[in-house]
Amino acid sequence: MLIAILVMSAMGTVLAAALAGLQSSASRRERLLTERINQALPQTQCGRCTFTGCKPYAAAIARGEADINQCPPGGDATAQVLADMLGRQPKPVDPHFGIVRKQSRVAYIDEPACIGCTKCIQACPVDAIVGASKFMHTVIAAQCTGCELCVAPCPVDCIEMREIGDVQTPWRVLAS
Amino acid sequence: MTTAINHGGLRLAGNKQRSTLKPSRLIAAPAQAVLPLDQHAGAPASPRVKVGDRVLRGQLIGQAEGEISASLHSSIAGRVRAIETRPVPYHRGSPSLCIVIDNDGSDSEVTGSLVDYRSLDPRALCEHIEAGGIVGLGGATFPTAPKLRRGQQAPDIQLILNGAECEPWISCDDMLMREQAQDILQGAVILCHALQAKRCTVVIEDDKPDAERAMRGALTKLNDERVAILSVPTIYPAGGENQVITAVTGMEVPSTGLPSDIGVLCLNVGTAAAIARWLDRGEPLIRRMVTVTGSGVNEAGNLDVWLGTSISDLIGESGGYAGSLARLLMGGSMMGLALPTDDLPVVKASNCLVAALPADLHPRGVEMPCIRCGNCSEACPALLLPQQLHWFAGSQDLGALEAHGLMDCIECGCCDYVCPSQIPLAQRFRDAKPALIERLTAREQAFLARERYESRDARIERIEAERQAKLAEKRKSMTARG
């Protein structure tokens, strides 16, 4: 009897430890997968995927709770990369989550109309708007990801999205 | 002897004898100078004069804007006729904003302050070089000051002056070394001071014995143990920046890096001479040596040309055209740009003009399919696989292009020179680069956006935690009092 109890409890301990180890390696794998998916996302942090940012969306994909076609800023190219990475069937971006734009856009503040309420500064997920309370605000165009999150909170409706012309590269390649 | 090329490269006919028979000559200032504000790599300069203003030779007319940019000075004295878009010899013929100046014939000039480089610390010296509108004169026109600033950050940097003018037809650096060796070495000494460099190597190809002799003579006079001269065999493209650096140091510039990452800074010999002229004589970059050559011109030679002079004036100076041209090239026959007309201004990048008759050009027939012979990868000095890149460029597979090192392509044209199917490979690669650059930039920006997003998250969390801690403190003190 005593031997049986000892054997059973020893087996229990060993198996519990093995199970715990397995679980931690599974969570580690999920973390690594999240990181890889996150690297493929455009980091606009716009939340159009219904998650609060790119990383939470990546985590949801890794857990199998979100589909790969929920990112309009990334467009079909990102959906394709995710399909390749995860071994899934590629599919176009679901229009339910937003329109895929060819030309990227940045926020533009109509500065004379700005009342300096700081609401857009608080809404900006990437700290691309500068300004202070009761002072004019402005968008650092080079750092704006075009997430549109600042447009709705503006109480005087002075923010609009504008297309950027040609992309400014660090220096132009002289050869033509 | 050290070789610049470990792999690939071509032995080409230099075609440089004709243009180096006679000494160079300074040509008269043009009746009108057309000076594009964006004739350097980076952001365009912003105009500092108005239409109708009187300007002197050497006066600042365009101010550098931003980190990578260069100032522009007037090359003639006269009145600003217009500030308008004009066709330029780069940008594939699309026009750029130019300052057009009419010569008043007075030749009055304003010189910059004469500066003893030893009186300036490296940073101030860099600023002074920037004020002279100095850019790299090897052809890429990268502004020199930002390059030097980056070099100043690297510990124990060595300077390389590139006189390995490897491309066929071009002989302006050869002539400059023969005639202005002292200026070049003075520039080398100034640059050594700016970089606090302990070593400077001037690299010269062995098909320029006269230039080497002149440089060695000047070096003996200078007697500076920091400066040395290295002769390298003549193989195209031994004068490429990466190739020259490998010849001197035995090291390769990292694929995504810059020469300063391995402690090297490379400048053209012409740039060094321009710096010496600016400091010692107060003359900003307003003229340069231009080779005018090719069988399609009557008198080949090197001309010292005021920037903004029309290319047709240079052809006129050289006795006019001989025969009907197959092509007019700016640059050499391998990497030069075909010009649609000669009614274009000489810019800081204009090292050579080749008026080419059909016999001057490498014959090129109709493009045929790739037969995968592999000649191109044998010839590639950057150790790439052009046949693969060609494939991926055709299907616009940016991921594969990146993985196969498209950004390491120096566009030397060796691959299409040897291609039996006459595929214009270098042109294809040049065309494919912008899309890949855009993608790499987008990736870089996404990375930065992510960093900002994460640091903002951390900040919000920290502020909240601080608020909670303060609140808890307050509650504790209230219960203690109560």
Residue A30: pLDDT over 60: yes
Nearest to A174 among B90, B446, B456 (CB): B90
pLDDT of residue B3: 57
Q: How far apart, in whole angstroms, are the C-alpha atoms of residue B109 and residue B74?
A: 9
In this structure, the answer to whether residues A86 and A135 fall within a common structural domain is no
Please name the amino acid found at residue B287.
R
CATH number where A60 lies: 1.10.15.40
How crowded is the C-beta side of B245, counted as CA atoms within 13 Å? 21
Report, as an integer, the average pLDDT of A25-42: 88
pLDDT in tens, B199-234: 999 999 999 999 999 999 999 999 888 999 999 998
CATH class of B367-482: mainly alpha
Q: Which residues contact B435 (CB under 8 A, 6 or more apart)?
A: B396, B398
Question: Within a 10 A sphere around the Cβ of B63, how many other Cβ atoms?
Answer: 16
Cα distances (Å, whole numbers) of residue B108 to B44, B279, B305: 27, 20, 17
Cα distances (Å, whole numbers) of residue B100 to B130, B141, B212, B257: 23, 21, 39, 39
> Per the domain annotation, does A49 fall within a domain?
yes
Q: State the virtual CA torsion across B396, B401, B403, B405 in degrees, nearest 10.
A: -170
Total tally of structural domains belonging to chain A: 2
In this structure, the answer to whether residues A113 and A135 fall within a common structural domain is yes
Q: What is the distance in angstroms between the CA of the first residue and the CA of the last residue of chain A?
A: 89
Domain boundary among the residues A41, A74, A97 is at: A97
In this structure, the answer to whether residues A42 and A79 fall within a common structural domain is yes
pLDDT of residue A167: 37
Domain boundary among the residues A97, A122, A141 is at: A97
Domain boundary among the residues A97, A125, A144 is at: A97
Nearest to A174 among B41, B93, B442 (CB): B41
Contacts of A176 in chain B (CB under 8 A): 90-93, 337
Report, as an integer, the average pLDDT of A135-146: 89
Q: How far apart, in whole angstroms, are the C-alpha atoms of residue A146 and residue A150?
A: 9
Q: Which residues contact B458 (CB under 8 A, 6 or more apart)?
A: none
pLDDT in tens, B29-82: 999 999 999 999 988 999 999 999 999 999 999 999 888 999 999 999 999 999
pLDDT band at B168 (very low <50, low <70, confident <90, very high): very high
Length reported for chain B: 482
Q: How far apart, in whole angstroms, are the C-alpha atoms of residue B121 and residue B123?
A: 6
In this structure, the answer to whether residues A40 and A90 fall within a common structural domain is yes
ipTM: 0.78
In this structure, the answer to whether residues A93 and A116 fall within a common structural domain is no
**B141: exposed, middle or buried (Cβ count in 10 Å: 0-12, 13-18, 19+):** buried
Which comes out higher in pLDDT, residue A155 or B365? A155
Strand partners, B292: B301, B353
Write out the residue range of the structural domain in which residue A121 sits: 105-163
DSSP structure class, residue B29: P
The percent of residues in chain B predicted with pLDDT above 90, rounded, is 70
pLDDT of residue B110: 87
Q: Are B351 and B336 in contact (CB under 8 A)?
A: no
Residue A166: pLDDT over 70: no
pLDDT in tens, B448-478: 999 999 999 999 999 999 999 999 999 998 8
pLDDT of residue B4: 56
pLDDT band at B97 (very low <50, low <70, confident <90, very high): very high
In this structure, the answer to whether residues A39 and A92 fall within a common structural domain is yes
Residue A29: pLDDT over 90: no
Nearest to A174 among B68, B349, B445 (CB): B349
In this structure, the answer to whether residues A35 and A93 fall within a common structural domain is yes
pLDDT band at A163 (very low <50, low <70, confident <90, very high): confident
Strands (E), B153-259: 158-163, 200-205, 227-232
Q: Which of B15, B59, B19 is closest to B35 using CA atoms?
A: B59
The tokens describing B378, both together, are 């044998």
Q: Which of B87, B79, B76, B80 is closest to B36 using CA atoms?
A: B87
Phi, psi of B458 (to 5 degrees): -65, -40
pLDDT of residue B93: 67
Report, as an integer, the average pLDDT of B376-384: 93
> Per the domain annotation, does A57 fall within a domain?
yes
- 8 Å CB contact of A171 and B92: no
Give the pairing of strands A138-139 and B264-268: unpaired
Q: Are B175 and B20 in contact (CB under 8 A)?
A: yes
Q: Does B82 touch chain A (CB under 8 A)?
A: no
Q: Which residues contact B104 (CB under 8 A, 6 or more apart)?
A: B54, B77, B78, B79
Mean pLDDT over each residue of chain B, to the nearest integer: 91
Q: Does A128 touch chain B (CB under 8 A)?
A: yes
pLDDT in tens, A65-80: 999 999 998 888 889 9
The percent of residues in chain A predicted with pLDDT above 90, rounded, is 49
Cα distances (Å, whole numbers) of residue B425 to A20, B166, B388, B410, B416: 57, 20, 11, 12, 5
Q: Does A52 touch chain B (CB under 8 A)?
A: no
Tell how far CA A42 is from the center of its chain.
7
- 8 Å CB contact of B335 and A42: no
Residue B390: pLDDT over 90: yes
> Per the domain annotation, does A83 fall within a domain?
yes
> Per the domain annotation, does A6 fall within a domain?
no
All CATH 1.10.1060 domain ranges in chain B, comma separated: 367-482
Q: Are B408 and B384 in contact (CB under 8 A)?
A: yes
- 8 Å CB contact of B453 and A125: yes
Report, as an integer, the average pLDDT of B326-351: 91
CATH number where A145 lies: 3.30.70.20
Say if pTM beats, i.e. exceeds, 0.90: no
Please name the amino acid found at residue B40.
H
CATH class of B18-28+114-287: alpha beta
B436: distance to nearest CA of chain A, Å? 11
pLDDT of residue B5: 67
- 8 Å CB contact of B437 and A126: no
Q: Which of B94, B10, B104 is closest to B57 using CA atoms?
A: B104
pLDDT of residue A172: 33
Q: How far apart, in whole angstroms, are the C-alpha atoms of residue B323 and residue B297?
A: 8
pLDDT of residue A128: 92
All CATH 3.40.50.11540 domain ranges in chain B, comma separated: 18-28+114-287
pLDDT in tens, B255-309: 888 898 999 999 999 999 999 999 999 999 999 999 999 999 999 999 999 999 9
